[in-house]
Amino acid sequence: MADANELTDILELERIELDMFRGFTPPEERSRIYGGQVVAQALTAAYHTIEDRLCASLHAYFIRPGDPTIPVMYLVERVRDGGSFSVRRVIAVQNGAQIFNLAATFQVDEDGFEHQSAMPKVPAPEDLLNEEQLRDAAGVAPQPGRRLWPVEVRPVDPIAPGDLTPRETENAVWFKSRQPVRPDIPANQCALAYASDMTLLDASLRPHPVNWDSGGMQVASLDHALWFHRASDFGDWHLYVMDSPSASGGRGYNRGLIYARDGRLVASAAQDGLIRYRPKKKA
């Protein structure tokens, strides 16, 4: 297994023109770019056109699978700069075709009413195994050439490899960047955006006797939305609490709440995912 890639390196974009940027994918044996990477790089590109405002929300659509062997071009449109809010639209392009687009709002810092849902009580991350340790404990070898994800994930209710027992949709994991993140809020928002696509779609699979490795499964993120509520340090543990209220028509709808370790609700996520199951017919 390769060394961990620092999240800050993945989110370091090359500026080509005033509002045009180029992003890269770390070497790995995957047929398509991880969706959270494109979300986070697009948000990073948008931030390069923003001053003194923080991202309030983003809404994105995955249009085509990204090719991890070539760069991604990010084109930013400065839609509006108002008194309190700014709007940016970002298009990600490979081989002359859109693979992804994102719209994001940015807001000046201001005071307002405060309330939030309480963080559920779960075991501390120090009392849980991460995904690599769980595979080792089960005797499952890592895929050859697969890199170590730059985000460490510790499931609260891990499912053993090969276990297809249907479960409730509710799921939770602790996660954080393996490497320190810069202290500024935009850097931590982009790091959190990268991680927010991890494990979220799993919620819509849990009630069914399948998993990502089941033969005949076609699983992919279709869209992604993220709302930022409070600042946090993604170099420290965050709790991602997820559920799936509905699945139908080959799609699963998933929701997530992201808490800092001190119990503050820092972000919310929502996603529709493709979850087709087309097992091969027996001869």
197 in active site: yes
Instruction: Give me the catalytic one of 37, 177, 204, 221.
Output: 221
**At 54, phi and psi to the nearest 5?**
-115, 150
Cα distances from 92 to residues 23, 26, 168, 171, 253, in angstroms, run: 10, 17, 36, 31, 24
Cα distances from 172 to residues 40, 123, 168, in angstroms, run: 22, 10, 12
In this structure, which amino acid lies at residue 35?
G
Which residues are CB-contacts of 28 (< 8 A; sequence separation ≥ 6)? 2, 68, 145, 146, 147
189 in active site: no
Instruction: Give me the catalytic one of 197, 202, 233, 272.
Output: 197
What is the bridge-based pairing of β-strands 54-62 and 20-23? Answer: unpaired
Copy the structure tokens of residue 237: 């543990």
Sign of the C-alpha dihedral computed for residues 157, 206, 40 and 185 taken in this order:
negative
57 in active site: no
Element (H, E) at 189: helix 185-195
Separation between Cα atoms, residue 50 and residue 234, nearest integer Å: 21
Cα distances from 103 to residues 20, 112, 143, 223, in angstroms, run: 16, 24, 35, 12
Element (H, E) at 14: strand 14-17
Instruction: Give me the catalytic one of 202, 268, 271, 272.
Output: 271
Separation between Cα atoms, residue 45 and residue 14, nearest integer Å: 9
Q: Which residues are catalytic?
A: 197, 221, 271
